[in-house]
């Protein structure tokens, strides 16, 4: 609906005449994340690719937003730019009311430690460290004491059902377990936003279900999530889905569940025969 609302001509709203005694609306608190006319252009060997072409999005505190779209629509690029992994070409990014698109690489690294947890399709764990060290590292880098980092790590691994893997090397774990470690690492510093790029893209059905459950639980606990995904099961957990097409927002809508049938599963599924 947002996409449609933006298309209204300016001045389409009826003029509002303030009445005597009416209080002005309280200032809107800054959201979690906001972009304005965000553009990302790649230039290499005289070839120019406009991956993100003027994106305006907003994410509220605690909101779960999924970004979908065909491959090549710019969704991963958008996420990487929003997380400061790649610089924006132009436009603005605001995180918790502060403009961040002009930050240096070093300043972004500090910001990420405190506010952004990242999960990737291929886990990206540090292979020469144990599972425990992988999860504790971000907290230590952010200035936590070893005792605090260990406590948080123990809580997270227990919550994700992999407490017994703490001493293992990541390579000894299954894909599903590695992704759970990656989630634990991303959540270690209680980030303002969890950014995930196809987190179930490399997982089988039962591991996907586990990751789904963890994401659902994290979101229920107030965790904001911004996630690029092809997987509609994962996207369907989101509050809102943004569809990207050709580097632009083609659709931006809340997910509205279809009214649940009285008969449970039987009415959703039609068997023939």
Partner 1 sequence: MRQPLLALLAKEPAHGYELKLALEQIFGEAYPSPNIGQIYVTLKRLEQDGLVRSEDVEQTTRPNKRVYELTPAGRDALRAWVGEPSDGPRVRDEFFIKLILAPMAGLADRMELMNSQRRHYLGIMRNLTELQAEADPADAPARLLIEGAILHLQADLDWLERCQEELV
CB of 233 to partner 1, least distance (A): 5
Q: Which one of 127-135, 152-160, 165-173, 231-239 is the stretch in contact with partner 1 (CB under 8 A)?
A: 231-239
CA-nearest of 125, 135, 219 to 172 is 125
The smaller minimum CB distance to partner 1, of residues 151 and 216, is found at 216
DSSP annotation of 161: T
Q: Which of 57, 224, 231, 242 binds partner 1 (CB under 8 A)?
A: 231
Report 248-267 residues binding partner 1 (CB under 8 A). 250-251, 253, 255-258, 260, 263-267
Q: Contacts with partner 1 in 67-86 (CB under 8 A)?
A: 68-70
Interface residue with partner 1, options 38, 187, 241, 242 (CB under 8 A): 241
Least CB distance from residue 47 to partner 1, whole Å? 21
Q: Closest Cα partner for 180 from 211, 218, 153, 213?
A: 211
**Which 192-221 residues touch partner 1, going by CB under 8 A?**
205, 209, 212-213, 216
Retrieve residue 157's tokens.
């691994």
Question: How far apart are CB 163 and partner 1 at their closest, in Å?
Answer: 22
CA–CA distance, 156 with 99 (Å, rounded to integer): 31
Q: CA 230, CA 198: separation in Å to the nearest integer?
A: 7
Is-contact 45 56, C-beta < 8 A? no
Using CB under 8 A as the binding criterion, the count of chain residues that bind partner 1 stands at 37
- Burial-class residue 96 by CB neighbours within 10 Å (0-12, 13-18, 19+): middle
Residues in the chain, overall count: 273
Binding mask 22-61 for partner 1 (x = CB under 8 A): ----------------------------------------
Q: Residues 169-188, buried b or exposed e (16+ Cβ, 10 A)? A: ebeebeebbbbbbbbbbbbb
> Interface residues with partner 1 (CB under 8 A)?
3, 68-70, 205, 209, 212-213, 216, 230-233, 235-237, 241, 243, 245, 250-251, 253, 255-258, 260, 263-271, 273
């Amino acid at each position: 609906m947002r996409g449609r609302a933006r298309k209204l001509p300016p001045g389409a709203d009826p003029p509002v005449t303030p009445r005597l005694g009416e209080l002005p609306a309280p200032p809107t608190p800054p959201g979690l994340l906001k972009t304005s006319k965000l553009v990302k252009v790649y230039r290499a060997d005289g070839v120019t690719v406009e991956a993100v072409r003027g994106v305006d999005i907003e994410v509220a505190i605690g909101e779960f937003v999924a970004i979908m779209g065909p491959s090549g629509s710019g969704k991963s690029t958008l996420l990487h730019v929003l997380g400061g992994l790649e610089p924006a070409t132009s436009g603005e990014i605001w995180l918790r009311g502060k403009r961040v698109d002009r930050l240096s690489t070093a300043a972004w690294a500090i910001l990420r430690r405190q506010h952004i947890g990242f999960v990737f399709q291929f886990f990206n764990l540090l292979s020469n460290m144990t599972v425990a060290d992988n999860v504790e590292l971000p907290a230590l880098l952010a200035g936590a004491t070893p005792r605090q980092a260990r406590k948080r790590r123990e809580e997270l691994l227990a919550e994700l059902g992999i407490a017994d893997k703490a001493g293992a090397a990541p390579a000894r774990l299954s894909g599903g377990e590695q992704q759970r470690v990656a989630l634990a690492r991303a959540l270690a510093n209680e980030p303002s936003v969890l950014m995930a790029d196809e987190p179930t893209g490399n997982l089988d059905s039962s591991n996907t279900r586990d990751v789904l459950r963890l994401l659902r639980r994290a979101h229920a606990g107030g965790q904001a999530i911004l996630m690029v995904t092809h997987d509609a099961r994962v996207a369907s957990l989101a509050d809102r889905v943004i569809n990207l097409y050709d580097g632009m927002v083609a659709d931006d809508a809340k997910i509205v569940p279809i009214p649940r049938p009285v008969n449970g599963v039987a009415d959703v599924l039609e068997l023939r025969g």
